[in-house]
Amino acid sequence: MGVLENKRRARFFYKYLSQVYDEINPYIWNEEMRDTAMSMIDIQQDDMVLDVGCGTGFATEALIERSDNVYGLDQSAHQLENAWKKLGKHDPVTFTFGDAERLPFASDTFDVVWSSGSIEYWPNPVLALREFNRVLKPGGEVLVVGPNNPETTVMEKLADAIMLFYGKAEADRMFTEAGFTHIDHTLMGPEYKPEVAIVTTAQAPDFETS
């Protein structure tokens, strides 16, 4: 487990990163990548949408253009403060301080769960993904963006000492263990690093039609 796959350390890390996050983020996860990922899921205007690990609201800003019912959750009070400044605490987004592994929402609440740049800090990714499955309505969609494995073994070991990096096979395992179906992966990134991110889409079981 990496150094930052610890909730206390991650909160401390973001206490300082939040001050420059919006300036650094575009070099790794930019608007074009975000919008391309958005096109991979079907969001209707009346859908209930949850952004887990919403941070300063970078993805949330795009989600509220597609849905009137967007909720954002993050474990970093400092990141949320920046999101509040941009979007307000309650309108057009309802922001909540909370933990991806213990979502404070009822089962079968959301049509879509989105999470970008958060999974790498979760101590137990499968537990968090099971929570995503729980709060999704049957047949609901999930999209998770995480860091793709580095190209070399040495860099992979170094990266894993910091936080979670994973490839398609590991993503398959995690999402399958969490109970998702229709799992698919796409690699993307900025021009200088076109495969830095792995975008996984999947579907909660649709018990009504299975």
Q: Is residue 35 part of a domain?
A: no
* pTM for the whole structure: 0.91
CB 84 within 8 A of CB 95: yes
| pLDDT per residue of the chain (210 residues) written in tens, 0 to 9 | 676 667 777 777 777 677 888 888 888 899 999 999 999 999 999 999 999 999 999 999 999 999 999 999 999 999 999 999 999 988 899 999 999 999 999 999 999 999 999 999 999 999 999 999 999 999 999 999 999 988 766 455 555 667 889 999 999 999 999 999 999 999 999 988 999 999 999 999 997 544
Which one, of 132, 107, 100, 104, lies nearest residue 202 by Cα?
132
Q: Is residue 106 part of a domain?
A: yes
Per the DSSP assignment, residues forming a β-bridge with 185 are: 200
Q: Is residue 2 part of a domain?
A: no
Domain holding 138, by residue range, is 7-19+44-194
* Residue 38 phi, psi (nearest 5): -60, -35
Q: Is residue 29 part of a domain?
A: no
Q: Is residue 80 part of a domain?
A: yes
- Predicted confidence at residue 153, as pLDDT, reads 61
- Predicted confidence at residue 99, as pLDDT, reads 95
What domain count does the chain have?
Answer: 1
Say which amino acid occupies 129. Answer: L
Say which amino acid occupies 104. Answer: P
- Predicted confidence at residue 45, as pLDDT, reads 97
195: which 2 tokens?
Answer: 């495969």
CATH number for 15: 3.40.50.150
Q: Is residue 68 part of a domain?
A: yes
Q: Is residue 115 part of a domain?
A: yes
- Predicted confidence at residue 92, as pLDDT, reads 93
Q: Is residue 207 part of a domain?
A: no
- Predicted confidence at residue 71, as pLDDT, reads 97
